[in-house]
């Protein structure tokens, strides 16, 4: 993957050049640099994990959070950093009664 030096957008290959779809900037491709790039091509798919026989307590911690679907007041939660590092984590909830999933972000 290559990023545009002019605007920072992701570039695409076009023959022997990288071309920015946003601003049109072009640069020559570097074969040695591209060989060092990682790809997902040819990687094995991860195996599906069956959690149906796992106790709720083993899945993760719970907290008091009202489910927007059924109104139950307990949910399992996890926190993930899905935005920029200088922004807060996103909280993901799963209702312990109906398994409804939702998320909350700090604004």
pLDDT of residue 18: 92
Q: Choose among 99, 102, 101, 81: nearest CA to 90.
A: 81
Task: Please state the pTM of the whole predicted model.
Answer: 0.45
pLDDT at 17 > cutoff 60: yes
Report the C-alpha gap between 52 and 61 in whole angstroms.
17
pLDDT value for 52? 65
Helix/strand number for the chain, H first, E second: 2, 8
Does pLDDT of 100 surpass 70?
yes
**pLDDT surpasses 60 at 56:** no
Statement: residue 45 has pLDDT above 90: no
- Topology of the domain covering 56-104: N-terminal domain of TfIIb (2.20.25)
Model confidence at 39, pLDDT cuts 50, 70, 90, reads low
């Amino acid at each position: 993957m290559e990023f545009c030096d002019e605007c920072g957008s992701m570039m695409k290959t076009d023959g022997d050049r990288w071309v920015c779809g946003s601003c049109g900037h072009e640069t020559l491709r570097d074969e040695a640099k591209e060989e060092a790039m990682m790809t997902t091509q040819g990687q094995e798919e991860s195996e599906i994990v069956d959690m149906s026989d796992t106790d709720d307590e083993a899945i993760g911690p719970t907290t008091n959070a009202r489910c927007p679907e059924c109104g139950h007041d307990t949910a399992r939660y996890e926190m993930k950093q899905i935005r920029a590092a200088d922004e807060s984590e996103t909280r993901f909830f799963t209702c312990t009664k109906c398994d409804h999933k939702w998320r909350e972000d700090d604004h």
